[in-house]
Structure 1
């Protein structure tokens, strides 16, 4: 099989071939997006510990059974089997596979965050340079129709110069309980900090839309609510044994068919949900624990304050204590104000008093993938960049992502030290 490298700007006369290392929530989503691309691509190999996920790739995407592996190391031990690989393993398991596949000459699409330490992020960037491969990081927010329109408007000066920005990520109380109290991102012993795991997207996005490098950062926040001292006196340590019926974090309420599909899929390991399977899983899995009796240690709320080149300021709030909704941002400019909610952009012009509205929501959210079409936009850009030799289509190359990851690491240093950190 003929392979190419994006950095050589070659043009393919055949479908791009892709391997997947980690076919869970994110890897599986990118595989589904593959069928919607304008530029042809084929999934030719995959590795995941979950047999159900591998069978889905065989059934839905025609991946040969002999090219399905239980561990990414088994895939990496074979001669190169694709042009590119999507690495969507758990956060703490990004460095080793990225370096291994880079050594084999794969171009790489790496799920965010790059890694859970700054040293590992630097090592990933160095692997890209050393082995001459492209590594794109999955900051999908840059690729949404909403962001594309927003950047176009801001660069056109519709509100004059940007002076300050207020950005909010409302995680959702139930989503937070699933992922950051009961789930795999609950503790820095096993994963990244909450800010890195959930919001490196947002810090990266702010740098992109503001269009200037950050120079100083401060941050405040911590673990306020999800700890033992807040457990009601009559509560049990598991939800299935709990007599309380009015708890908003009751797993029997959260893990219902149709409520949080990604959470159900995670708890059930990709099996089709039924009431019986859900009841069985809640009795034995970590997702049935009382949120006040888990081993979580990550922050449940955080504020990040940023100063960019030229004095532009931004504040970012991420919190568990909301209903799950689209990110909300207000840009304050010298000639106007712009508000966006991830779908709709509203501009008020101070000079004319007029308000203009732009609706950027995809016509079919389910078809265009998650993150307001960002998942599809990312895959489209990645595949077209490699197929057509157009690296400029990748908005989140490894060097750019390393720079914005460093802002997140600096924010965490500020949160724990109380100091303003210069970048």
Structure 2
């Protein structure tokens, strides 16, 4: 569709006539991420309102337009159509269609969309990763700085109550100096099969390497200095295909299907038959998933293919070691083969204590608290740990306290809601620091991930400052 309506037209990112009206958003990409961010407008209509959308899939587009009562003239098939109408509006009236845009299209489209709307002066929330090449990341950062806009990145974990509570303790210095972090990113066996073997992130050429698309969240202890990394695609390849699967290329035609942990029938069709309508079923069809459309998708689409016959090429396991300017070190592991689905496991070691967390609750132990001399070792039973933590019993130390941050709802432990609410407030007040990071911080985190991938591919230790300096020298000034 196209049109020329201007809803709550804005100048300079905020409505010059009213500081109390909701911040207006244009959502570019109405899939799982775009829809998730837009839900904040339904939960807090006094804070923000979705006034325009761009989405190529007809049923998904119609559902979003209906949910947010969007004027038909501001419902677009493509981001280019939205951009063209915005350009006409800005030339004719000096006003934009909305205060800000949420960029939730496929990863390789982030750069052109951000460059276009930054030039028009829109504040922007961009889903992670920033971009899929070093050059595009640098160009985007320069465009954002040149435009002087509010810029948020979909690093949702840093906005979850769990991470915020843990960060407060880390930065307080109450446990002394941070020495080491051990972090496990358990992607989940069927999640990896869904997203990185059959899904949109399966091929580096079409998306990016898996460390970037899954694990580009912010680095915190200090300036990252050196990185080394190892990893490969171990299992999801033809040489690992069970002999009993024979020549079958689709799960619905395979005699091994009932034994396969990666069966598309089990992951999608059986779930829908049981009444499951959300992820991962919802993302493989346009509209509400049902037995008929899911069966059709498995018969002809990539989500029904055998995981050993797919065209995937991204790694299914990777370790990354980082040294920071403070001397602190991080050991990070990303692995597909877990029952946990993105429930990160973290251990942080300080000079005077440690923190152990599982994305739900975390324990804080102060070594300086002493037990009576006759105290014998004991354990905390699983039932004593909040939020149903079922990890093995934890040793009792008299200086240990269990923290159970509130679960505020929404994806990523409340991180989705935390990010969009912070972004909306940053746009309303025109204060970037509400987001806790700026575009330079975001760029650094992404370039550190590219440096890790360089280490993995070339088998060398990479100097991150040199990598960043070289990237800016090569690609800076190219906006």
Instruction: Give the TM-score, by structure 2 length.
Output: 0.83
Aligned to 1:251: 264
Query: Does residue 179 of structure 2 align to residue 167 of structure 1?
Result: no
Instruction: Name which one, 1 or 2, has greater alpha-carbon Rg.
Output: 2
* Cα distance in structure 1, aligned partners of 2:49 and 2:449: 35
Query: Does residue 20 of structure 2 align to residue 17 of structure 1?
Result: no
Aligned to 1:359: 404
* Cα distance in structure 2, aligned partners of 1:4 and 1:316: 44
Q: How does 1:1-150 map to 2 (within 5 A)?
A: 1-5=8-12, 12-37=19-44, 40-78=47-85, 79=89, 80-150=96-166
Q: Is the 8 A contact 1:11 1:388 kept in 2?
A: no
* Cα distance in structure 1, aligned partners of 2:462 and 2:197: 28
Aligned to 2:472: none
Aligned to 1:301: 317
Q: Go from structure 1 to structure 2 and tell me whether the alpha carbon gap of 1:55 and 1:234 turns closer, same or farther (over 3 Å shift).
A: same
Q: State the SS of the aligned residue for 2:216.
A: helix
TM-superposed deviation, 1:11: 7.9
Query: Does residue 400 of structure 2 align to residue 388 of structure 1?
Result: no
* Cα distance in structure 2, aligned partners of 1:265 and 1:397: 33
Aligned to 2:234: 224
Query: Does residue 412 of structure 2 align to residue 412 of structure 1?
Result: no
Instruction: Give the TM-score, by structure 1 length.
Output: 0.93
TM-superposed deviation, 1:194: 0.2
* Cα distance in structure 2, aligned partners of 1:410 and 1:9: 43
Structure 1 gap segments, 5+ residues each: none
Structure 2 gap segments, 5+ residues each: 1-7, 90-95, 370-396, 465-479
Q: Go from structure 1 to structure 2 and tell me whether the alpha carbon gap of 1:260 and 1:234 turns closer, same or farther (over 3 Å shift).
A: farther
* Cα distance in structure 2, aligned partners of 1:359 and 1:240: 43
TM-superposed deviation, 1:409: 0.2
* Cα distance in structure 2, aligned partners of 1:237 and 1:260: 26
* Cα distance in structure 1, aligned partners of 2:14 and 2:229: 38
TM-superposed deviation, 1:53: 1.8
TM-superposed deviation, 1:8: 12
* Cα distance in structure 1, aligned partners of 2:325 and 2:17: 36
Q: State the SS of the aligned residue for 1:322.
A: coil
Q: Is the 8 A contact 1:168 1:328 kept in 2?
A: yes
TM-superposed deviation, 1:348: 1.8
TM-superposed deviation, 1:310: 1.8
Q: How many residues align?
A: 412
Higher RCO structure, 1 or 2 (CA under 8 Å, sep 6+): 1
C-alpha distance after superposition, 1:110-141 (max 9, x if no partner): 11101000100010011112222222111111
Q: Is the 8 A contact 2:119 2:147 kept in 1?
A: yes
* Cα distance in structure 2, aligned partners of 1:54 and 1:197: 25
C-alpha distance after superposition, 1:327-374 (max 9, x if no partner): 1100011111110111201012212142101101405xxxx2100000
Output the aligned Cα RMSD. 1.9
TM-superposed deviation, 1:16: 0.9
C-alpha distance after superposition, 1:213-249 (max 9, x if no partner): 1111110001000001011122111100001121001
Q: Go from structure 1 to structure 2 and tell me whether the alpha carbon gap of 1:337 and 1:282 turns closer, same or farther (over 3 Å shift).
A: same
Aligned to 1:279: 295
Aligned to 1:372: 413
